[in-house]
Amino acid sequence: MKKLILMLALVLALSSCTKKEDAAPEIVLSELNGTWKGTVNIIQKGTCTFEPTQYNISMLWQVDSNGDVTINEKLLEGDNPTIHTWKGKIVEQEIRLETLPEIANCRGIERQITFSMKAKITKQQGKYQITAFVDFPICPDMNCLFELRYEASK
């Protein structure tokens, strides 16, 4: 009887042990601060074209202890590099951002645009990474629609 109880206890103990899934590495907000490097690919979705379609980027991240974030993104090509400023929030491992208003020139007509990004922040082999797809409707009434694919790491 003792053996049976011991075996039953062992079976119950083993059955309650479940394999822990590999937990995602914890994001340490202060480690996100600083310069991230990567690329942005411009994917045509409408009838307008855009050349070149890939740019190297640098992103300066400023993250506070509450997860509020400001990112200054700079395209690293050309004589007059484009800069976008993103503001948003990091909650758990997800970042949600929106650009500050910018001006788009659609055949001489200026209009204010903003665009949004949502991405998971991952950490692999000690490096933080994001991959994000961003709708970028520069001039939607002219069918100038693009998608931006961001890949960056620190």
Q: Does a structural domain hold residue 16?
A: no
| Percentage of the residues of the chain whose pLDDT score is greater than 70 | 84
Q: Does a structural domain hold residue 107?
A: yes
pLDDT of residue 40: 94
Q: Does a structural domain hold residue 46?
A: yes
pLDDT of residue 77: 79
Instruction: Give the domain range for residue 82.
Output: 26-153
Q: Does a structural domain hold residue 11?
A: no
| Percentage of the residues of the chain whose pLDDT score is greater than 90 | 53
Most confident of 14-18, 76-80, 106-110: 106-110
pLDDT of residue 123: 94
Q: Please check the confidence at residue 22 and state whether its pLDDT lies above 80.
A: no
Q: Does a structural domain hold residue 30?
A: yes
Straight-line distance from the first to the last Cα atom of the chain, in angstroms, rounded to the nearest whole number: 61
Q: Does a structural domain hold residue 41?
A: yes
Q: Does a structural domain hold residue 56?
A: yes
Lowest mean pLDDT among 2-16, 62-76, 93-107: 2-16
pLDDT of residue 24: 61
Average pLDDT, the chain: 84
Spatial CA neighbour of 116 closest among 134, 138, 132: 134
Q: 58: domain CATH number?
A: 2.40.128.20
Q: Does a structural domain hold residue 21?
A: no
Q: How many domains does the chain have?
A: 1
Spatial neighbors of 30 by CB under 8 A, at least 6 apart, are: 63, 65
Q: Please check the confidence at residue 148 and state whether its pLDDT lies above 90.
A: yes
Cα–Cα distance for residue pair 107/110, rounded to 1 Å: 8
Q: Please check the confidence at residue 4 and state whether its pLDDT lies above 50.
A: no
Three-state SS at 25: coil
pLDDT of residue 82: 77
